Amino acid sequence: MAHVAFIGLGRMGHGMAGRYLDSGFTVAVWNRSRAKADDLVARGARWADSPGDAADGADAAVTMVADEAKMIEIVSRPK
C-alpha cells in the first residue's frame, strides 16, 4: 500500500489523514503541536519529528496549513 505524509493536522488535514488510515494506507503525520496527532498515532499513523521526516520515502505528501507564511515556515525547517 502507498505511503502518504500529512503535514498540518487541522480540521481538514486531520480528517483526511484519518480517511487514509481507514483505507489501509501507511501514513506519517507531522503538526506543530503533537497533541493533534495523538489519536492518529494511536490508530497506526507514524509520528514524524519534522515535515521532512514525514515526507521521507512518501509516495505523496499533503500539506494542509493556514497560509503562505506557515508553508514557508514548514519548508524552511531542517529535515
CATH number of the domain that residue 24 is part of: 3.40.50.720
The pLDDT value recorded for residue 79 is: 65
Write down the pTM of the prediction.
0.88
% of the chain at pLDDT higher than 70: 96
Count of structural domains, the chain: 1
Helices (H), the chain: 11-22, 38-42, 51-55, 68-75
Those residues of the chain that have pLDDT short of 70 are 1, 79
Q: Which domain holds residue 30?
A: 3-75
Query: Is the CB of residue 62 less than 8 Å from the CB of residue 16?
Result: yes
Residue (of 64, 29, 60, 65) closest to 44 by Cα position: 29
The span from the CA of 79 to the CA of 12, in Å, is 24
The separation between the first and the last C-alpha atoms of the chain, rounded to the nearest angstrom, is 25
The span from the CA of 74 to the CA of 1, in Å, is 27
